[in-house]
């Protein structure tokens, strides 16, 4: 089939490459000429493991096309995926301006019947809104809600081996046509109504965020009573009703999805006259975890002014260069404001962080340079490579031997044997 993808950011590009790999011909549209030129040359515009090989393969097979002209793309295809950003507004609600712009452009320039698929995470009622905008065009448009469930760092795996493909539509035959685009995948295909599909995406993400905040609450209690949060989490996870996933205590969640989706669902609830009480606690706990680590650092160093602090990891999680809502970014801002010298390193996210933080940190070439002369090291991203660093070498180069492991990545016994004061979360 012929498909156009409007928006070639994280969701759009992964979807475009995945659909091309399934045998479809895909047109990717982005309004940035610079990004389109990179994509045409086979250059990824963000880091995602496993994507580059498939991207170049399908580009060479001429199944991927990129351009800035939305009109040309939609009139060469039968299916249009809307994959634009829906960032949070000041009130917590999702900003749908990009979705509206795309819908209006389709309504104005489409010269044929189309199936429109909302792939972006959008509030309940967005598909209806798109339907109303499209009424201005004489052609028939069928709007479907099919939200993505792609984890950054594992997006390729999730596209081809996801738990489910969710398709919401008024017309079941249209929903089946969309499902057939993924016929080669064994993924469970769930067909439901528009509003149900939109809410299911929010409910899924917010539940996972809640699970993270819950285990972080348990971590605080563990520190007070002398328990080990990792053992508690393991014991909980053995129960199949709970499972082991998202029970990792640390600096809290970040990224492009969980923070904005929790706020958005809270806003959706409020506008519908419902006080979703648990969401306020989820947000509060998540921010507290960052402040908790900041507080631990202040306690160790007394005054932060003039002290040298190392932040290892800048991405909100490993296997990505995404710094959106990253705890490391907040920590660097806070330490810098208190007069500390911050040295930072991340193998993938460094350029993104530097563009945001500018001179608030000294940007190092590797972890060893970042730790040299430091009085305290904070592990803020769970990059596996941090486990295998020569920590004995790092210890010799530090002024004070303190590590705050914000991801519980290292082995306490090993680090203490080397002579570090090792501070973990919930242990």
Domain boundary among 192, 207, 223: 192
- The answer as to whether 245 is a domain residue is no
Domain boundary among 134, 159, 192: 192
pLDDT given at position 338: 96
- The answer as to whether 347 is a domain residue is yes
pLDDT given at position 224: 97
pLDDT given at position 129: 97
Residues 6+ apart with CB under 8 A from 71: 105, 109
Q: The domain that contains 141 carries what CATH number? A: 3.40.50.720
The CA distance from 19 to 49, in Å, is: 17
Please write the tens of the pLDDT for every residue from 2-49.
999 999 999 999 999 999 999 999 999 999 999 999 999 999 899 999
Q: Which two tokens stand for residue 326?
A: 């990253």
User: In total, how many domains does the chain have?
Assistant: 2
The CA distance from 12 to 85, in Å, is: 10
pLDDT (average), residues 350-376 = 97
Fill in the DSSP letter of residue 423: E
- The answer as to whether 228 is a domain residue is no
- The answer as to whether 242 is a domain residue is no
The CA distance from 89 to 260, in Å, is: 9
**Residues 287, 188 share a domain:** no
Please write the tens of the pLDDT for every residue from 217-268.
999 999 999 999 999 999 999 999 999 999 999 999 999 899 999 999 999 9
257 is known as an active-site residue: yes
pLDDT band at residue 208 using 50, 70 and 90 as cut-offs: very high
pLDDT band at residue 158 using 50, 70 and 90 as cut-offs: very high
Mean pLDDT of the chain: 97
- The answer as to whether 294 is a domain residue is yes
pLDDT band at residue 179 using 50, 70 and 90 as cut-offs: very high
**Residues 300, 173 share a domain:** no
- The answer as to whether 243 is a domain residue is no
- The answer as to whether 126 is a domain residue is yes
Q: What pTM was computed for the model?
A: 0.94
Helix residue spans in 276-418 (DSSP H):
277-301, 327-337, 350-357, 367-371, 391-397, 412-418
Q: 84: burial class by Cβ within 10 Å (0-12, 13-18, 19+)?
A: buried
pLDDT given at position 134: 97
Percent of the chain with pLDDT over 70: 100
**Residues 116, 7 share a domain:** yes
The radius of gyration of the chain's CA atoms, rounded to the nearest angstrom, is 23
pLDDT (average), residues 311-335 = 97
pLDDT given at position 215: 98
Domain boundary among 149, 170, 192: 192
Q: Which two tokens stand for residue 109?
A: 């320039």
User: The domain containing residue 55 runs over which residues?
Assistant: 2-192
Residues 6+ apart with CB under 8 A from 144: 115, 116, 117, 118, 127, 167, 168, 169, 174, 175, 178, 194
**Residues 163, 39 share a domain:** yes
Residue in 83, 222, 257, 371 annotated catalytic: 257
């Amino acid at each position: 089939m012929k498909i156009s993808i409007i928006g070639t950011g994280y969701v759009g590009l992964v979807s475009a490459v995945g659909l091309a790999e399934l045998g479809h011909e895909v047109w990717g549209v982005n309004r940035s000429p610079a990004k389109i030129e990179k994509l045409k040359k086979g250059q990824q515009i963000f880091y995602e493991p496993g994507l580059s090989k498939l991207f170049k393969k399908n580009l060479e097979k001429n199944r991927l096309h990129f351009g800035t002209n939305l009109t040309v793309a939609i009139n060469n295809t039968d299916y249009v995926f809307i994959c634009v950003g829906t960032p949070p507004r000041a009130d917590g609600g999702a900003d749908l301006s990009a979705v509206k712009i795309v819908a209006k452009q389709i309504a104005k320039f489409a010269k044929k019947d189309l199936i429109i698929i909302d792939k972006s995470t959008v509030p309940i009622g967005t598909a209806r809104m798109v339907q109303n905008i499209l009424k201005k065009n004489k052609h028939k448009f069928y709007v479907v809600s099919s939200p993505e469930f792609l984890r950054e760092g594992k997006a390729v795996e999730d596209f081809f081996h996801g738990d489910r493909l969710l398709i919401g539509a008024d017309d079941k035959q249209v929903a089946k046509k969309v499902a057939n685009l993924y016929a080669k995948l064994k993924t469970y295909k769930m067909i439901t109504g528009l509003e149900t599909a939109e809410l299911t995406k929010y409910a899924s993400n917010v539940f996972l965020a809640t699970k993270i905040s819950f285990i972080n609450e348990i971590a605080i209690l563990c520190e007070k009573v002398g328990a080990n949060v990792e053992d508690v989490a393991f014991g909980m996870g053995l129960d199949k009703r709970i499972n082991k996933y998202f029970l990792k205590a640390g600096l809290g969640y970040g990224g492009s999805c969980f923070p904005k989706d929790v706020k958005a669902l809270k806003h959706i609830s409020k506008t519908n006259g419902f006080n979703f009480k648990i969401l306020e606690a989820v947000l509060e706990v998540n921010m507290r975890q960052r402040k908790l680590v900041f507080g631990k650092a202040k306690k160790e160093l007394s005054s932060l002014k003039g002290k040298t602090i190392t932040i290892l990891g800048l991405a909100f999680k490993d296997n990505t260069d995404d710094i959106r809502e990253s705890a490391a970014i907040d920590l660097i801002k806070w330490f810098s404001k208190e007069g500390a010298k911050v040295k930072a390193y991340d193998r993938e996210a460094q350029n993104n962080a530097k563009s945001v933080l500018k001179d608030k940190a000294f940007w190092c070439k590797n972890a060893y340079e970042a730790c040299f002369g430091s009085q305290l090291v904070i592990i803020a991203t769970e990059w596996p490579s941090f486990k295998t660093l020569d920590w004995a070498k790092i210890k010799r180069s530090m002024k004070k031997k303190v590590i705050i492991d914000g991801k519980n990545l290292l082995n306490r016994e090993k680090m203490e044997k080397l002579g570090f004061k090792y501070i973990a979360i919930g242990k």
